[in-house]
Structure 1
């Protein structure tokens, strides 16, 4: 009787052995690579920092960057520069100077500016008092521009048409103004202006000549009084380069024919401000309001 063939028993496939050998060799290879490698700590920290910024990780604030002061009202602080954000953030600013010193300095600045404005108003009032009648007649206009007083003299009643001779009435007004200018410091600039209608005569070849001679005539009257020093005067002839109005009509051209006397007080005001600051610094730590009001009399050398 023939024997039956033996049944094949199930087992591990043959390829598994080869795969296991390959994995073992790969693991040994990477272990050897790791044992030969060196870790650069600085480069690792740099890469880690860049990754944390890329993923929005909030940076740690070192102890050296602790804010100098916080507000009891706002307990949120961000040392980063302000950027547009959808989230409302409260950002603070600090200073090394004491807040009370800043408050005193602000009060002092207000006192100084008020004193300078008061002196400027008093000076303008002196000039306005002398020119009161001429201002009401419309022959003279008075304006205040920062630290300058502008006296605008219309041609009507001051100069004959096409002439640079000062009228008798206007000459008397200039003599009264010279007495006021003697008590007011600063440079006096006299500007002559005309319209755009060309002029050509035996005496004046152009509007430049007319405007310059008219300004010189006003300066001569001020000098004849003896109250105004020549070093303070500046004479300019501007012709029709700076019109007040358009030259389309006779009325507008009449507005452009004028002489302007500009009292520049910027220099004396700067000196007075320096004097007031010196006075305030000498009284640090003491009440300034009564002292400043009582001791800020105009300096004698300014003749204010």
Structure 2
């Protein structure tokens, strides 16, 4: 009598489930990280980094925070990146540099105003600080004889002092010549344009040769009678329009709101 063969049920090999589950977990983690980074939510990213550390390594660090960046870590908590890079929080370097430059401009303005007052030229030399830069406007009667472009010897000390004050700056400096609307035609100057140009050139050369300003920073403009600030129909207006401007150009121009703020800060500083 034959014994019945006993049939043993065979169980399928399920070891493939382990790497499959690991792969799904990793994919899920990747998508969550990508989602969190797309939202630029630093807190959320930090929390998830902590959670992943527990999930993947049982407590050892998966990612280590360095400043505002995350460095990959192995299971032993050793950095996989021997030279970690730090990504700083985005800032506005232009604004901070503009603020520093504005402080310098205000200090220079005050220094030049003090020198002008000492020399007794306060009524003939005016300073204006705006969003483009600092303008030092000097009436022609201080610098030149009537209808001439040669700089008077007596004004040398003041021009040298202005040159010394602005020498430390790396800003461009524009020398601008202006006249009134009374026509001129001499053996030296065919027009007001010629006169304003030669006056600007001579001031520029003085500040470069005697004031030792860098020639790379200097330039001239000549407008003749075509950029008046005052009424040319009066003697006083014409005298104010005959001028040379030394214009220190901002490297980082300010908008009107920032100018107002800086002026208020300056007033408060002077009161204190």
Question: What TM-score do the two structures reach when normalised by structure 1?
Answer: 0.50
In the TM superposition, 1:26-105 aligns within 5 A as 96-98=39-41
- Is the 2:143–2:151 Cα contact (8 Å) retained in structure 1? yes
Distance 1:191 1:100 in 2: 55
Stretches (4+) displaced over 4 A: none
Give SS of 1:244's match.
coil
User: Compared with structure 1, are the counterparts of its residues 229 and 118 closer, same or farther at alpha carbon in structure 2 (3 Å cutoff)?
Assistant: closer
Instruction: Name the CA distance, whole Å, in 1 between partners of 2:94 and 2:247.
Output: 24
RMSD of aligned Cα (Å): 2.8
User: Quick one: distance in 1 between partners of 2:94 and 2:204?
Assistant: 34
Give secondary structure in 2 for the equivalent of 1:126. Answer: helix
How far the C-alpha of 1:263 sits from its partner, in A, is 1.0
More strand by share: 2
**How far is 1:262 from its partner?**
1.0
For residue 196 of structure 1, what is the aligned residue in structure 2?
181
Cα gap change, 1:128/1:165 in structure 2, threshold over 3 Å: closer, same or farther?
farther
**Is residue 2:147 matched to residue 1:162?**
yes
Unaligned runs of 5+ in 1: 1-67, 69-94, 271-304
Structure number with greater Rg is 1
Of 246, 249, 256, which aligns to 1:264?
A: 249
CA contact (8 A) 2:108 2:166 kept: no
Residues 179-223 of structure 1: CA distance to partner in whole angstroms, max 9, x if unpaired?
222201111110100011001112111101110011011011112
The answer to whether residue 106 in structure 2 is matched with residue 116 in structure 1 is no
Q: Alpha-carbon deviation of 1:235? A: 1.3
Is the partner of 2:175 in helix, strand or coil?
strand
Unaligned runs of 5+ in 2: 1-34, 45-87, 254-272
Mapped to 2, the partners of 1:194 and 1:100 lie a distance apart of 63
TM norm structure 2 = 0.55
- The Cα shift of 1:172 comes to 1.5
Residues 121 and 138 of structure 1, relative CA distance in 2, 3 Å threshold: farther
Deviations 1:97-146 (A, max 9, x none): 43989xx979x44x963563243222331343134242562221111121
1:132 equivalent to 2:114? Answer: yes
Is residue 2:185 matched to residue 1:185? no
Q: Could you give the per-residue CA deviations for residues 230-266 of structure 1, whole angstroms, max 9, x where no partner exists? A: 1211111110111101211111111111001111122
CA distance in 2, matches of 1:183, 1:237: 26
The number of residue pairs the alignment matches comes to: 171
Determine helix, strand or coil for the equivalent of 1:245.
coil
